[in-house]
Structure 1
């Protein structure tokens, strides 16, 4: 079974909550005695975890950087749902999918996963050849959402979008030059929201494959939003509409 490293309070706490049996050991900063660390250590011990007291240098080496917050865990990889079909078969109600086309920055991906979790998206989809994979930085920024939101990397994004349409899921792309805005659409039904990388936007084939294009209204001087912020605007508009739907 493959193993990896998680670091930071949020990422490790979520794994403690969702799959404690997958954690092999947790390294904590022996010099840190504040309330947050004491609470974390108590929770880990209650869960029967093996705790290893380490110094900052050892934690930095394990985490591959200094932003570990004094907590680094060695974990076994969780069984993955290998296809979007598997994920969608488990969905109750209208699916909500976030599709990222060309997002290569791990901080942006982590933030997108975090907002996808918060808005109740059922999956995040990205192409294998134009995207960043899950790594420790993504998990740290995602604050646990990398453990809860399926992140599916597909070989052919356009084909996957067409498969979504065959399931009667509307594929809605975002573009600064679209005529209609996000707020003109009914997002209460099955929807896949497609966002491109900041600057480049959607690739041409991805754009052509979408059922329709929308823009986020911009009232100030800047022309576009960071992709994770745009994902939050789009997903939470879908959540707002769904929460107001009768029944």
Structure 2
């Protein structure tokens, strides 16, 4: 992870299109340039947090950070193309997963179950960072990870390459144990709090759920991924 600090350098790296994990801003900072940085983060769907001076000082090794630091990812995402999909049988599509611990755990399970590709959106989603890599327990390079602009359009693309797209629900659809595992499958997992967006859900070929007992309403998304990916292995 590379750190870029200073108001103008951070603003320029945000405009550059590089993969930014997050931006940390001094909570007491006020300036026109800061407003420009925040607006750019919002436009690009990049996470930004406010923190105190001690945190920024330590992160920048006491350099002149001017109250703002950008964390730039060094991870290399793969290109989603015909050649890659023609050779793939299992794909996981993550719709706005926010917690890096969940993403890391899903990467680890995906590697263990032979998933070929994990797909994440460019915006409003956790990106690959040091936490994701650590939680994956060294498996981050064993699964290809692609970033896309639009999940729904990507699902349509996968369908054109003969993937059957299966979305996950808390209680809708059918019991996952009734799902017949065959052919090329794309499994869609949704946001920790809101699940799969309606538009994305409408693009799925079918929906499945994991039956729960004892009044348990839902499972963590990484647990759901583990159950379903081993079932579909």
Task: Please confirm whether the aligned pair reaches a TM-score higher than 0.5, indicating the same fold.
Answer: yes
- The answer for the alignment partner of 1:184 in structure 2 is 178
Matched, 1:153 2:147: yes
- The answer for the alignment partner of 2:106 in structure 1 is 112
What is the CA–CA distance in structure 1 between the aligned matches of 2:81 and 2:228, rounded to whole Å?
21
Query: What is the aligned-residue RMSD (CA, Å)?
Result: 2.3
What is the CA–CA distance in structure 2 between the aligned matches of 1:213 and 1:123, rounded to whole Å?
20
Map 1:122-137 to 2 at 5 A: 122-137=116-131
Query: Are the equivalent residues in 1 in contact too, given 2:92–2:119 (CA < 8 A)?
Result: yes
The alignment covers a number of residue pairs equal to 167
Shift of 1:80: 4.6
Question: SS of the counterpart of 1:120?
Answer: coil
Unaligned regions of 5+ residues in structure 2, if any? 4-57, 62-73
What is the CA–CA distance in structure 2 between the aligned matches of 1:159 and 1:152, rounded to whole Å?
14
Matched, 1:205 2:183: no
Shift of 1:144: 1.5
Question: SS of the counterpart of 2:107?
Answer: helix
Query: Are the equivalent residues in 1 in contact too, given 2:77–2:146 (CA < 8 A)?
Result: no
Query: Are the equivalent residues in 2 in contact too, given 1:158–1:209 (CA < 8 A)?
Result: yes
Question: SS of the counterpart of 2:126?
Answer: coil
- The answer for the alignment partner of 1:47 in structure 2 is none
- The answer for the alignment partner of 1:140 in structure 2 is 134
Question: SS of the counterpart of 1:130?
Answer: coil
What is the CA–CA distance in structure 2 between the aligned matches of 1:80 and 1:179, rounded to whole Å?
32
What is the CA–CA distance in structure 1 between the aligned matches of 2:212 and 2:158, rounded to whole Å?
29
Query: Are the equivalent residues in 1 in contact too, given 2:75–2:128 (CA < 8 A)?
Result: no
Query: Are the equivalent residues in 2 in contact too, given 1:109–1:228 (CA < 8 A)?
Result: yes
Shift >3 Å, 4+ stretches: 77-80
Query: Are the equivalent residues in 2 in contact too, given 1:173–1:214 (CA < 8 A)?
Result: yes
Larger helix proportion of the pair: 1
State which of 85, 88, 95 in structure 2 corresponds to 1:88.
Answer: 85
Shift of 1:86: 4.2
Query: Are the equivalent residues in 1 in contact too, given 2:170–2:209 (CA < 8 A)?
Result: yes
Query: Are the equivalent residues in 2 in contact too, given 1:84–1:152 (CA < 8 A)?
Result: no
Cα distance change on mapping 1:201 and 1:139 into 2, 3 Å: same
Question: SS of the counterpart of 2:183?
Answer: coil
